Structure formats: structure tokens, C-alpha cells
Amino acid sequence: MEIIVAKNAGFCFGVERAVKMTLEQLENDKENVYSYGPLIHNPQAVKSLEDKGLSTVDEFKTIDKGRMIVRSHGVGKATQDSIKDQGLELIDCTCPYVIAVHKKVNEYYSKGYDIVIVGDKFHPEVIGINGWCNDKGYIINSVDDANSLPNFEKVCVVSQTTNRLDKFVDLSKIVEEKSKEVILFNTICNATKLRQESAEELSKFVDVMIVLGGKESSNTIKLAEISKKFCERVYHIETIEELDLQSLQGLNKIGITAGASTPDWIIKEAVKVMENYNKDEMMEAIDSSFKRIGRGDVLKGTVLYVTNTEVMVNINYKSDGIIEREELSKDPNVNPKELFKVGDEIDVYVMKLDDGEGNVVLSAKRVDFIKDWEVLEESFKNETIVEARVDNAVKGGLTVSVNGVSGFMPASQISVNYVSDLNQYKGQILKAKIIDFDIQKRRMILSRKLVEKTEVEKMRKSLWENIDVDKVLTGTVQRLTDFGAFVDLGGIDGLIHISDLAWFRVKHPSEVLKEGDEVEVKVLAFDKDKNRISLGLKQTTEEPWEVFLRDYKVGDVVEGTVVNLLDFGAFVRVIKGVDGLLHVSQISKDHVEKPADVLKVGDKITVKITEINETDKKISLSAKDALEPEDTTEEVVETVEEVSAVEVEEVDASTEELTKED
């Protein structure tokens, strides 16, 4: 068996630089060193760094201090700014070749060019590149994607650095046909090109190709694709442990290549294992094991016996498996004998291959946990709505659980509207969609905002289909301005102008409404094209003047409230929205100089309606005429006898002056 390693394989310059910079940070101080996402696309290399003190995080909003490493794939400018604004020290390990792409995209976007990125829209490098044109880039990864592009005046085309050259060339030609002016940048990394060429060359004359690298690594996946074109048997594995070496028996030449994120020690380990794997070792491995199992496997087993504390299971392995009581169920107090009996076939999860006594350590409850994750993965793929229970409000969002599985809902994904107090959601059940999901990393990000958007669009469509002038609708007051109140009618805001709030004069909408009020309003006018609706609040009630004319007449004595004082009289509110004038001469039988001498705003006063002017909507009132008439016969006689000619002249003069005031 001849083992041949490709001429160009393993770490590229950018990845090696990122790892080196990270190790330097860890050597200086292991405390509070974070990587925003996996540093490179190789779980084993990332695990090695984490063992040295690196913390890999998917969210930095909850981190108060420390150094945040930007991985080799890079991030958008907005993300870099957010990390700095968070008060974290930014350690930029972005590959220099990727940084060059960022600069080109940012430069031409600033010049008014549309940006087209050839690559996988879910790949972190592509997401990062798009962040340098405000996420406005067109991302294409197939001929169909390219054909669906609009026509451009001028466009700049770049590529994911790990792309195949033939794909970039083919898709760029389609873009050129749709554009008047095209700027093309072949930003495929030369290291990627060399690895692809070496893989192609080697795969043409070996019996089997082994491609080492992360299962999510774009450049490793492309190496496997290229190898499959020229070699019938290709294995894409992360480490040599994943490969069934028995399948290599009888082969003459074995080729090995590795992605740009695969460290040398993984390549050397693979070569060493295969070189030492002689015929005798193969036979020993076959004899010593009924099946190959590993930590994290889910197997079927048969219950051998059950005690009050554990369950023993045959898993068709060289040793039996044991399930401790705490790993049987989510209920810590469960009795094992109530769950299983001898002979039951059950699914088990492999936790450890040896408990120190030769038994495989198993778990039953973790199988249910995995199944829960698998169900949620289907919900994620199918974009179905799930119900998320809010467990707590934390910095940056909400911690939630869906069927017992923990997830996170960023503050930006809680609602279509700005939310200032996250604590209000504690304990609530929110309908949401899963927008990011990684079953391996046990990560789930949810959005209630997407569900709300869909609901709002349905409500908007229904509203526009059924709206009509004079129709009465129910809405919620969203905000108040000096000129009126905006009311949410279900995805569309309508405006109640201040003049349509009440039948009486309103200085500010807050006199009538407050934010959050639920109100009934009448549609006065609407313009669907401009997305505008004019509403009336007062129009939903009878005009106060009409109520007054119906319920009151001249001669009625009523109790009113003083609402304004002037030199010539007081305005008294008879009913809400209708005020009458109480002239100074009608306030009292005694002489009153100014209304303010005997009245103040807010006083309750009994008045008689003396005149109603329907045309001008004016009312005259009298307080002195509303008083009970007294027996003043004798007093009048005495007064007549005592009044002198001079006093008569004074009374006439006063009357004349009052007439002038009227």
C-alpha cells in the first residue's frame, strides 16, 4: 500500500496566520479571549485552541470585557464597529486575501456600483464580504442564480476566495451580459487554486482519495468534488478515526489531500495510522469488535437487566452498556423498573466507551434530547412556526425554550416595533421561526419578528381590501405629535388630525388620548398608493351642539362649569363641547365689576338659558334669572318713594353703558 500526500495540502497562509495570532494572544493572557465563531473550519483545530483557553462564541452582546478575535473568514464593517462599541478589544485575524476583497467591494460600492458576489450565501466569508456593501450585494452560486439577476448600469463582480475558477468564469459571463459596465475581480485565493490543481493531479492515478478537513469547510468540500471527477472512491473525513481502514485492503495507491483549514498534525496522524495498519492489526481489530462505535453515537440495544439504580444493555459491542438512573429520563426521581423491562429494545446514546470497569456508559434521556433537536431541525428547514417560552431577559435579547430545548432570540428579532423593556416578555409564549440552527453546536436562534411581519402583511392586505370612507375601525394609539395622533389599524398607521380629535378645542392630543389607548375611529379619507389614511375620533360620537339642541331649550335652568373668564363675562360649559356666555350683567343681581371678582375657573354655577342662536351656534346665559324669585313688593314701594331724579339718571347711564358692552 503506497500512501501519497498531495503536493499542496493543509494550512494556507491566511489560516496559519490566524492560528498563530490566536496562540500569541493566549500566551500573553488566557483570560477573556474570545473567537467570534469558529476561528477556522476545522473542529479539531478549534478544540485544540479551546483547550488552551480560547472561548468560541456566536454572540458578543453579553460580553462585557476581553479580546474578541475575528476569524480568518472575516466579518462585515458593522460587526467590527459593534465589537468595538461593546468595549471589546478587536483582534482582526481576517485573511489578508479576504481583506483585499473587502476593500474592493467597499470601494466600488461607494462609487455607485452594484456588487455581485459569487459564492455560498450562507458561508461566513461571503456574509462578511457582503457586510462591506451594507449587505446590498447580489450573491449567486449557480447558473439559475445568475440568470435571475436584474440588469445593471455598472457592476463589480468578486468571488468567494475558495471558489472553483470554472464556476467563477461561467457565472461572470452571465453577469457581463446583463450589464453595461462590468468590473471583474478574480479573488479566488492562489492557495486554493494550487490545492485544487494538486488534488486533481493526484486523484487521476490513485485507487482512493482521502480528503481531510472540516465537513463545513468550503475549500475542503470543493477538493472532494474535484477528486470525485477523477477517482471513483473518495472519502471526505475530518480525522483518520472516521475511516474504516478495512475498506482500504487490497488497494495499491492511496492519495491524501487536506483543506486549507486542516493542521499538519491531522495529516501526519492519518499517514502514520495507515502506514502502521498492517494485515495482522486489521484482523485483530475485526476480532476484537463486533461493531465500531464512538462517543455521541445513537445505537439500538436490548435490555439485559434492570435494578433500582441502573439498566444494563447489550449493544452488540465487545462490552455491554450501562445506563445510570440520572441518564434514564428527564425526571430525576424515576424508577428504572417502571421504564424498562428485560428484553426491551431501546435507543441509547454513547457517552463514554469505558467507565473504568470495562462498561460502555450510555444515556437514554439524551436520545430524546437529540430527537427534540432533530424535530427542530425539520422546523428550521421547513420554516415552520414554533412556540417559544421566554425563560429570561438578558443583555441583547431573550433566552427561550422550545419543547425543552434552549435557544436565543436577539432583541432585534423580537418585534417589528422597537422594544425598550425586554422583561415584559418573561414567561410568555411567543410564536417564532428558527432563523439559525446548528445541531452539532446545539445553537438555535429564533425570530418573532418574521412571524409578525407575515401577520402584519396579511392584516394590511385585508385592511386595504375592506377599507371604505365612513367605515368605523378599531385601532391602538401608537404615538402623539403636536398635530395629531397616529393609530395602528393592524399593520397600517392612520392619522387623527388634532382638529378631528374632539368637538371642543384641543391644544394637544394628550388632552384626549394617550399612547396604548384602544379607540374606535371613522375613516375620513384614504390613499392606498401613498399608504395614507385620515381618521376621525370625534366623528364617532354625536356632535355636542346637536345633543344640546335636542335636550335643552330657552328657559331651562342648568348647572354648568366656568371654563373661562373675560372682562365682559364668563364662559360656562353647559355640556361637554358646548359653552355659553354669561354676561357680567347676568352674573348677579348685585353690581359686578369684573367676572373674576366673584367667579373662578372650575366653579359650578346654576344658570338659565336665555337665548339660543342656532345659526351661529351661540348660547346666552343668566345666573341672576336662575335664582328663586323673592317677595319684594314692599321693598319696591319703598324704593320708588325714595329714588330721586338724580338716581334715575345714574341707572339709565349704567344701562346705556351695559348696552354698549353687549
Using CA atoms, how far apart are residues 307 and 339, in angstroms rounded to an integer? 11
Angle between helices 218-230 and 190-203 (to 10 degrees): 30
* Torsional sign, CA 95, 101, 104, 105: negative
579: buried, middle or exposed (CB in 10 Å: 19+, 13-18, 0-12)? buried
What single letter denotes the amino acid at residue 35?
A: S
What phi and psi values does residue 270 have, to the nearest 5 degrees? Answer: -65, -45
- To which residue does cell 399608504 refer? 531
Name which of 44, 65, 69, 66 is nearest 56 in CA terms. 69
β-pairing verdict for 429-438 and 443-447: antiparallel
Those residues whose C-beta lies under 8 Å from the C-beta of residue 539, and which sit 6 or more positions away, are 500, 522, 524
Q: Helices (DSSP H) in 402-553: which residue ranges?
A: 449-466, 544-551
Reported as type and span, the H/E element at residue 380 is helix 365-382
Using CA atoms, how far apart are residues 138 and 156, in angstroms rounded to an integer? 10
DSSP 91: E
β-pairing verdict for 33-36 and 67-70: parallel
Q: What is the dihedral of CA 393, 397, 403, 405, to 10 degrees?
A: -100
Count of other CB atoms within 10 angstroms of residue 472: 12
137: buried, middle or exposed (CB in 10 Å: 19+, 13-18, 0-12)? buried
Using CA atoms, how far apart are residues 469 and 487, in angstroms rounded to an integer? 16
DSSP 119: S
How far are the Cα atoms of 409, 418, 419, 424, 531 from residue 415, in angstroms, in the given order? 10, 7, 7, 13, 21
Most distant CA atoms of the chain, gap in Å: 149
SS3 396: coil
β-pairing verdict for 179-184 and 152-159: parallel
Q: What is the CA radius of gyration of the chain?
A: 41
Reported as type and span, the H/E element at residue 578 is strand 578-583
Strand partners, 621: 582, 609
- To which residue does cell 414554533 refer? 386
Using CA atoms, how far apart are residues 395 and 430, in angstroms rounded to an integer? 19
SS3 538: helix
Using CA atoms, how far apart are residues 502 and 495, in angstroms rounded to an integer? 14
What spatial distance separates the first Cα and last Cα of the chain, rounded to whole Å? 122
DSSP 88: P
What cell does 489 get? Answer: 389599524
- Pick the catalytic residue from 16, 24, 125, 542: 125
Name which of 416, 330, 397, 321 is nearest 360 in CA terms. 321
Using CA atoms, how far apart are residues 211 and 200, in angstroms rounded to an integer? 12
Catalytic, 125? Answer yes
Name which of 503, 544, 539, 537 is nearest 518 in CA terms. 537
β-pairing verdict for 298-306 and 310-314: antiparallel
Give the catalytic positions in this structure.
125
